[in-house]
Amino acid sequence: MNFILLSMASGFWFSVLVGLVGAFFGLILNHFLPMFLKGGHVPKGSFGWPILGETLGFLKPHPSNSLGAFLQDHCSRYGKVFKSHLFFSPTVVSCDQELNYFILQNEGKLFQCSYPKPIHGILGNVSLLVAVGDTHKRLRNVALSLVTITKSKPEFLNDIERTAIQILNSWKDKQQVIFCEEARKFTFNVIVKQVLGLTPEEPETTKILEDFLTFMRGLISLPVYIPGTPYARAVQARIRISSTVKAIIEERRRNGCSSRKRGSDFLEILLGVDTLSEDEKVSFILDSLLGGYETTSLLMAMAVHFLSQSPTAFEQLKLEHQAIRSLKEKDDEYLNWEDYKKMEFTQNVINEALRYGNIVKFVHRKALKDVKFRDYIIPCGWKVLPVFTAVHLDSSLHANAFQFYPWRWETQDQTCKKFTPFGGGSRCCPGSELAKVEVAFFLHHLVQNFRWKAEDVEQPMAYPYVEFQRGLSLHLDHI
């Protein structure tokens, strides 16, 4: 009997061992087999370690206004287009202007948005950021419609300016501020008012902000759903934000027009859109909060950081805004859309901050079929990473590419192939103009009231998401 039990136990563990060995060799085969597909037609490159591939090297932190060691090394060895193994998938990485543009313009035809599955767990499957096909088209059409309706509305512009003035008034007795915190406070207050009609004083605003900060931390964490991890807390935070938004929707429907002016915010307009489901409307609200909060505040920080290093640009910017203010009949008269269109050098500063700072480093795509480009093949099913940073910092495309020089935009077309800070094609960020308006209006009051100096150690770092490690500490000089 003991012999039989021992034999059974030995057989079980032998089966386990065979299974583990088989799984291990399966992973090895899965990792290296794609490397030999299509022979010499696939771009040159290396796959790195089994399973992990070259992901750790690709994600190694570096200043966002540089390529980083990984891209520099691989481009010098293999050229601007090379193969690698990133995020558990065989991947073609493109640092080439023409291929990047080709990928962006063929969204839904030859390539498709393909973010890692854990991202879906936080954003939700109907998020505009990860949706594809007809779902993405419907969501994007609504987004574009909302932006068109909103961007020049006096109520929206006045809210931006009021919020900027409130933030800057709180600096009057301060000699130093952590600018990233101040910028996030500004952008959150603006977007939560525009999207949900909430003011900073309302309890729902505080509740959403607390959950949103948890949500943001998890979005850039190790995607492992274990209770207590940042990722797991982010998933739960998203559920709570969704519940809060649904409660606001129900209250709005019960009260009709009585509590808030109809058409005054995104939510009021969304309630009348029949082409979106309830979950899609809630997800759309979360996407709007995400886009209007983090990306816009980071763009503000980039502009302020680079202006601190360019006194000439600061002075020209200040003169432009003083000229605009001098045309106002009253000192406290609000800015309007016509004033915004006069901010030409401001636009140059914003564009240069986008090019040089590289808020978005790359995007994830997947080849839907074998794609031939020039003399190589991108195999069906492989991931494709068009790297915007590489094109923005390409000295053959931009003179003095590693220098903050806003004047380049006086002659350079900001809609050209070599400048894609908000993506391109059908997935170009629909809220990009709103972000620029917010930054322009904030700078209008900032440059007329303050000078500032950033600490020497401060610089934007790519992880690959971009942030200032110390929050961009500014020493203020009141004008």
Q: Is 380 within any annotated ligand binding site?
A: no
- Cα distance between residue 378 and residue 38, in whole Å: 9
Determine phi and psi for 460, rounding to 5 degrees.
-70, 130
| CA separation for the pair 132, 129 (Å, rounded) | 9
Q: Which residue type sits at 59? A: L
CB atoms within 10 A of CB 351: 18
Give CA torsion, residues 436, 438, 442, 447, to 10 deg. Answer: 10
CA distance 221 to 180: 20
Report the C-alpha gap between 466 and 352 in whole angstroms. Answer: 16
The number of residues in the chain equals 479
Alpha helix (H) residue ranges in 220-229: none
What are the structure tokens assigned to 283, written together?
């997800």
Q: Coil, strand or helix: which one is 424?
A: coil
Q: Which residues contact 87 (CB under 8 A, 6 or more apart)?
A: 55, 116, 364, 383
Calpha distance 18→9 (Å, rounded): 14
Burial pattern 392-409, b for ≥16 Cβ within 10 A else e, equals: bbbeebbeebeebbbebb
Helix (H, G, I), strand (E, B) or coil at 234: helix
| Plot region of 453 (φ>0 → left; ψ -120 to 50 → alpha; else → beta) | beta
Paired sense of beta strands 81-86 and 383-386, if any: unpaired
With a CB cutoff of 8 Å and minimum separation 6, the contacts of 220 are: 463, 465
110 within 8 A of 371, measured Cβ to Cβ: yes
Ramachandran quadrant class, 423 (left: phi over 0; alpha: psi -120 to 50; beta: rest): left
Lookup result for tokens 């949103």:
212
Q: How far apart are alpha carbons 432 and 429 in whole angstroms?
A: 6
Indicate the annotated binding residues: 429
Please give the annotated binding residues for heme, written as ranges: 429
